[in-house]
Amino acid sequence: MLKNIMDSVREKSPIVHNITNYVTANDCANILLACGASPIMADDLEEVEEITTICHGLNINLGTLNCRTVESMLLAGKKANQLGHPVVLDPVGVGASVFRTKTAFCLLEEIQFDVIRGNISEIKTLANGKGTTKGVDADIEDVITEDNLMQTVTFAKEFSKKCGAIIAITGAIDIVADSEKAYCIYNGHQMMSSVTGTGCQLSAITAAYVTANPKNKLEAVVAAICSMGICGEIAYNRLSSMDGNASYRNYIIDAIYHLDGEILQNRANYRIL
Amino acid sequence: MLKNIMDSVREKSPIVHNITNYVTANDCANILLACGASPIMADDLEEVEEITTICHGLNINLGTLNCRTVESMLLAGKKANQLGHPVVLDPVGVGASVFRTKTAFCLLEEIQFDVIRGNISEIKTLANGKGTTKGVDADIEDVITEDNLMQTVTFAKEFSKKCGAIIAITGAIDIVADSEKAYCIYNGHQMMSSVTGTGCQLSAITAAYVTANPKNKLEAVVAAICSMGICGEIAYNRLSSMDGNASYRNYIIDAIYHLDGEILQNRANYRIL
Amino acid sequence: MLKNIMDSVREKSPIVHNITNYVTANDCANILLACGASPIMADDLEEVEEITTICHGLNINLGTLNCRTVESMLLAGKKANQLGHPVVLDPVGVGASVFRTKTAFCLLEEIQFDVIRGNISEIKTLANGKGTTKGVDADIEDVITEDNLMQTVTFAKEFSKKCGAIIAITGAIDIVADSEKAYCIYNGHQMMSSVTGTGCQLSAITAAYVTANPKNKLEAVVAAICSMGICGEIAYNRLSSMDGNASYRNYIIDAIYHLDGEILQNRANYRIL
């Protein structure tokens, strides 16, 4: 099944509209191309509705959020909802400032998201109205382990039920849940956290996978997260003794470029809870 | 001749002012350095006229266009015209929104461009007032082939005559035309379309080449496009089995860094129509 | 001592708030991760004070300066001062436009910087109210050589005394000075100037080093500059015949990722004046 999901992305080559930050926009564009999708980055109020109309899916990312783009996010999101285009939210750093938190809640109220992907601190902030976000990384006291896994799965399912979006919490263990079913994913490598924007990149390809697989959204998110994790593993194995996080960044995108559906299927490491 | 043009860029090291998008700005800066030029990125209304004054050429790129920078583009373009600095337009995604189309027409009316470089859909939109732009890639029905080559060359010459700029239409076959003469260029590799911003990068170095060769602008554009295409070929040959589009991105810039005038001269593959 | 300074960065993993340009933001984030720090990029008026509060240090960079972010820089800088967080200024291109010069002087008046790092033309502009800045590179007539070294050291000490910040002037020879003491650093490779943003990256890690070593700020700046220079040397030695400035960019960050305190200590090449 994961194989078919990935193949659909390459066959359909969905155009994904990204309203995203200037730190990782280039990597997001390249990883979308790597997975077989086509990126457009556009964030001005004047054009976001038209741009989202010619695209097939929308990815909203709160990194380097600014006053100018909040309204653009709202307009694009509502338009995508009207058109039935999948919409992904990456609530980067929500909880770290009132501005980000207010913006995220405003977006949640006005837009029906298909997927929300963040780290555990960000998702807790969205679900509870407050969290322990300290910057853009998950707080240490929030980290998902085997000990709190069931509890976090229950939390994710409940939040999914409440907001209607698939919830993807990524970290050492990733959880993808709708209100009924949760996947716990064990792919990936800890060195991925030393590359800026691997989360942003994952949200971008999640938008592509879901857009190309509208009838299997939950599994599409799982496929996207497994793809990223497996490519993190492949890229890690490719590192020479002098390669560091900059080369690793390139190798992860390279691995997505070459990822084969069979390999995805075989290496995907998850269980259903 | 192409050799001399490239040598001039390295000798003169022109400073190129870029008003460009945040997706590919880093690659544009690095490829300008790679070809021997010096980049400045500056887009605020308050300073663009001064910045363009201390530079030698201007590159205006409509990617991630926003309300704040439209006025900056106009001011910088007019100032560059006054100073006799070459100005290049990269009308990224024109036709994809009314905002981009209106902005492009406004720029065409107020600024005399030396070169306009885009894909066929973008150039058709500029020439005809409407096009089939679907995002940032050329529409499939517009693609240049040997069958419609003469027709496209005629179109490019006529548009050049009308707007006074050299028209560079890039794709599988590239066309560079003024009102009298057209070059059809066959360098490049299709994998270049899987790297975000190869078009933006090409526009940036086109500005550098034209700026360093004010008396041979048409051939300078040809040299820039051949350089990019040849480096796309060299970089492709360098790819290992694990390298994908991220490494390819780096290798293209690396190849520009090492490109030798003799190699450019010998590998350039074009005919004049 | 340099070893201890670097080890502190890896142990404390300071969070550095960056208000910076969109050209090099990605490289700045990755090099901060490479050295063991944690980056946040945030520039909106609405949130910069809160963001800087949850961080440990602040890095203000004037590249792609715009009207929207000037106020953000002021607010964040004042808040960081209140909290006792180290603040670094990278006055990119100051002197190239009235807007940049005015902004820089305004920042100098309102914020107490711990470190100001720029090329000699930029620092002269800050110290003298005018300079010979021609773009983002140092002007040739300003370049530091052994002949004018003592004179430049005296200038740096005096400017440090006047403004209360450590002055770091980087170029072929780097000078780091407070009012009493100056280090002249000979690490680095000239090819670093063919990579966009090596200066921005250096300012970012300088903020991290100083933040992790509040009691040895002068030596922390020296350690940051030696680290960058040594990694420029290591990365240069790693270049294959086809590698150019794009690969070099990656290798420099990779080298920072692997840099060992012993190597830093042993390869640091400086004298005290």
Residues of B in contact with C67 (CB under 8 A): 44-46, 68
Residue B95, min C-alpha distance to chain A (Å): 10
Enumerate neighbours of C (3 or more CB pairs within 8 A).
Answer: A, B
Residues of B in contact with A44 (CB under 8 A): 64-67, 99
Residue with tokens 């069958």: B147
| pLDDT (0 to 100) of residue A208 | 98
Residues of A in contact with C263 (CB under 8 A): none
Residue with tokens 């945040």: B22
CB-neighbour burial class of residue C54 (10 A; exposed 0-12, middle 13-18, buried 19+): middle
Q: How confident is the model at residue B146 (pLDDT cuts 50, 70, 90)?
A: confident
| pLDDT (0 to 100) of residue A143 | 83
What is the pTM (predicted TM-score) of this model? 0.97
Helix (H, G, I), strand (E, B) or coil at C166: strand
In this prediction, residues A1-23 reach a mean pLDDT of 97
Closest residue in B to C132 (Cα) is: B54
Residue B249, min C-alpha distance to chain A (Å): 9
Q: Which residues of B148-177 are buried (b: 16+ CB within 10 A; e: fewer)?
A: eeeebbebbbebbeebebbbbbbbebbbbb
Closest residue in C to A64 (Cα) is: C42
Which residues on chain B place their C-beta less than 8 Å from a C-beta of chain A? 21-24, 26-27, 63-68, 93, 96-100, 134-137, 194-197, 242-247, 249-250
How confident is the model over C153-188, as pLDDT tens digits?
999 999 999 999 999 999 999 999 999 999 999 999
| pLDDT (0 to 100) of residue B61 | 98
**Average per-residue pLDDT for chain A:** 95
Is the per-residue pLDDT at B144 higher than 90? Answer: no
Calpha distance C126→C117 (Å, rounded): 11
Q: Decide if B196 and A54 are in contact by the 8 Å CB cutoff.
A: no
**Residues B263, B264, B267, B272, CA torsion sign:** negative
Minimum-distance CB partner of A246 among C25, C40, C253: C253
Q: CA dist A42 to A54, A79, B22, B36, C225, Å?
A: 12, 14, 10, 31, 37
- CA nearest neighbour of A114 among A206, A225, A2: A206
- Whole-number percent of chain B with pLDDT over 70: 96
Spatial contact of B29 and B39, defined as CB atoms under 8 Å apart: yes
| pLDDT (0 to 100) of residue A187 | 98
Residues of C in contact with B45 (CB under 8 A): 67
Enumerate neighbours of A (3 or more CB pairs within 8 A).
Answer: B, C
Residue A3, min C-alpha distance to chain C (Å): 32
Is the per-residue pLDDT at A129 higher than 90? Answer: no
Residues of A in contact with B22 (CB under 8 A): 22, 25, 41
Calpha distance C194→C175 (Å, rounded): 21
In this prediction, residues B102-120 reach a mean pLDDT of 97
Residues of B in contact with A41 (CB under 8 A): 21-23, 63-64
Please work out, in degrees rounded to the nearest 5, the angle formed at the alpha carbon of residue A88 by the alpha carbons of B91 and C66: 45
| pLDDT (0 to 100) of residue A52 | 98
Q: Decide if A197 and C26 are in contact by the 8 Å CB cutoff.
A: yes
In this prediction, residues B232-256 reach a mean pLDDT of 98
Q: Decide if C247 and B249 are in contact by the 8 Å CB cutoff.
A: no
**Residues B255, B261, B262, B264, CA torsion sign:** positive
Alpha helices (runs of H) in chain C, residue ranges in sequence order: 2-12, 25-35, 48-54, 67-83, 98-110, 120-128, 149-163, 198-212, 217-238, 245-258, 261-267
Residues of B in contact with C97 (CB under 8 A): 42, 46-47, 50-51
Q: What is the CA radius of gyration of chain C?
A: 17
Closest residue in B to C194 (Cα) is: B33
Q: Decide if C30 and A246 are in contact by the 8 Å CB cutoff.
A: yes
In this prediction, residues B209-227 reach a mean pLDDT of 98
| pLDDT (0 to 100) of residue C142 | 76
Spatial contact of C119 and C171, defined as CB atoms under 8 Å apart: yes
Q: How confident is the model at residue B134 (pLDDT cuts 50, 70, 90)?
A: low
In this prediction, residues B205-211 reach a mean pLDDT of 98
Q: Decide if B137 and A38 are in contact by the 8 Å CB cutoff.
A: yes
In this prediction, residues A84-111 reach a mean pLDDT of 97
- Whole-number percent of chain A with pLDDT over 90: 91
Minimum-distance CB partner of C30 among A67, A135, A196: A196
**Average per-residue pLDDT for chain B:** 95
Angle between helices C120-128 and C149-163 (to 10 degrees): 50
Four-CA torsion A12, A17, A22, A25, nearest 10 degrees: 0
Is the per-residue pLDDT at B94 higher than 70? Answer: yes
Q: Decide if B41 and C23 are in contact by the 8 Å CB cutoff.
A: yes
Residues of A in contact with B121 (CB under 8 A): none
Calpha distance B198→B213 (Å, rounded): 22
Spatial contact of A209 and A224, defined as CB atoms under 8 Å apart: yes
Q: How many contacts, defined by CB atoms under 8 Å, are there between A and C?
A: 106
Is the per-residue pLDDT at A134 higher than 80? Answer: no
A20, A21, A22: best to mutate for the C interface, most C CBs within 10 A = A22
- Longest distance between any two alpha carbons in chain B, whole Å: 51
**In this structure, how many other beta carbons lie within 10 angstroms of the beta carbon of residue A265?**
16
Helix (H, G, I), strand (E, B) or coil at A142: helix
Residue B269, min C-alpha distance to chain C (Å): 22
Closest residue in C to B46 (Cα) is: C99
Residues of B in contact with C196 (CB under 8 A): 26, 29-30, 33, 39
Run of H or E residues at B41: strand B38-41
| pLDDT (0 to 100) of residue A130 | 65
How confident is the model over B46-78, as pLDDT tens digits?
999 999 999 999 999 999 999 999 999 999 999
Minimum-distance CB partner of B258 among C68, C136, C244: C244
Low-confidence stretches of chain C (pLDDT < 70) are: 130-141
